[in-house]
Amino acid sequence: MAIANKNIIFVAGLGGIGLDTSREIVKSGPKNLVILDRIENPTAIAELKALNPKVTVTFYPYDVTVPVAETTKLLKTIFAKLKTVDLLINGAGILDDHQIERTIAVNFTGTVNTTTAIMEFWDKRKGGPGGVIANICSVTGFNAIYQVPVYSASKAAALSFTNSLARLAPITGVTAYSINPGITRTPLVHKFNSWLDVEPRVGELLLEHPTQTTLECAQNFVKAIEANQNGAIWQLDLGRLISVEWTKHW
């Protein structure tokens, strides 16, 4: 999908990978980039607007842990303004296995709920035009960091959910693919808690492995958006974009 002149909603578009990806998206010239994030960052929004004045960049505060009805209400406001939305990026995520319930709520339930809410506007069974969903999951979804089993499992759940969305596309008209970054140098991975403190140095040990920059990840993210391949499992690792094969579909 060419990004030019498209309307895009980016959940968590101001985070580590998110902000660099927002920059790369804006450079590609969408009509509208709507960023939904928990914490407002006026400086970042101003930067994005200045990066390409032809693009309308707007911000709405949003916590992915709110009920589906609340998300639907926000999306109704956005759709009323834009009329159409072409792409939804679900990018919210936390890495802290001390926060078990919140990890599941943000990394998995939030993705499910935001997706469920937008179906009200996209589902072809309701007369909708369809749409595209890009869910940011993680390579831990198919190759767990065993010291953070809650985080890894939440990402595996999001990946499985995305694969199911792709298979449901003939029914809903909504296609989907997953973005699975490898170890990326963001504040998220510098220091984080392992489950039951099984490895207090897990963040430090993780960064001993080869990593990629958020910019490298963002550039490949845009390539994945442009490829627009329903059901694709994209691994973004060490500056490369790799298509990963999944297990047998039943």
Question: What is the set of active-site residues?
Answer: 151
Strand partners, 61: 37
Let me know: does 159 contact 63? Beta carbons within 8 Å. no
- Residue whose C-alpha is closest to residue 181's, from 126, 135, 132, 124: 135
